[in-house]
Amino acid sequence: MQPWNHLATATAPEGSTLRLLRRGDEFSIRLADGNELMNSRLGGSEEALATLALDRLVGCTAPRVLIGGLGMGFTLRAAQAVAPREARLEVAEIVPELVDWASEHMAAVFGDCLDDPRVEVRPGDVGAMIRTATGAFDCILLDVDNGPDGLTRDGNDTLYGVAGLQAARRALAPGGVLAVWSASRDAGFDKRLGQCGFDATTHMVRAGRNKRGSRHTIWIAVRR
């Protein structure tokens, strides 16, 4: 088996180190301790995050969508595939180097998706963008960290706690959709969504596109 080659390193705002590795045509982004955050061969559940959410926007011909986290672009590309021509897709990425990696090291993964005129990549914290918005988005897709029950970055709990969910509800237009990806189930999160004014459904989706790999959780929560 080919060895992993280290391509680049980035430091997140709170100080954690991200490492980009490559083995053949496979890419991996990991923390310094070796914990893998994403892999180019395992984007099935991240793609489902976008398709399940946008399926709920029936009749919305020009949705404004906020995507939390660029990552390897799985969620973005899936949204592009199903979003109408007049959609606006805003991607918030807190680690600027990940945007550079998309064109420098992972061009084969990203293709020309960032050249889409519907797409705007905005450096910064998606939580801050949500907190300053009122009725601005038809859909918010959160593929941030490992989900409500698997945080690796200090401060991401503010996205998934009561205050964060209330802010997301305010940022959504009436009938808007909040979609959340998680590496694991979290019954407490189900309850918080209901308490904060969402009608939510839970979907278990395989990590791989071939229906194999770990099962991840996706919440599709519609603003009441």
Structural domains of the chain in order of their starting residue, each with its CATH number: 42-223 (3.40.50.150)
pLDDT value, residue 183: 85
pLDDT value, residue 153: 43
Q: What are the start-end ranges of the E strands in the chain? A: 5-11, 17-23, 26-31, 36-39, 64-68, 88-93, 119-123, 137-142, 172-182, 198-206, 215-223
Q: Going residue by residue through the chain (224 aa), what tens digit of pLDDT does each one get? A: 799 999 999 999 889 999 999 999 999 999 999 999 999 999 999 999 999 999 999 889 999 999 999 999 999 999 999 999 999 999 999 999 999 999 999 999 999 999 999 999 999 999 999 999 999 999 999 988 767 864 444 454 689 999 999 999 999 999 999 999 998 888 899 999 999 999 999 999 998 887 777 899 999 999 99
pTM of this prediction?
0.93
Cα distances (Å, whole numbers) of residue 21 to 81, 119, 160, 178, 209: 27, 26, 29, 31, 21
What is d(CA 12, CA 14) in angstroms, rounded to the nearest whole number? 6
pLDDT value, residue 214: 86
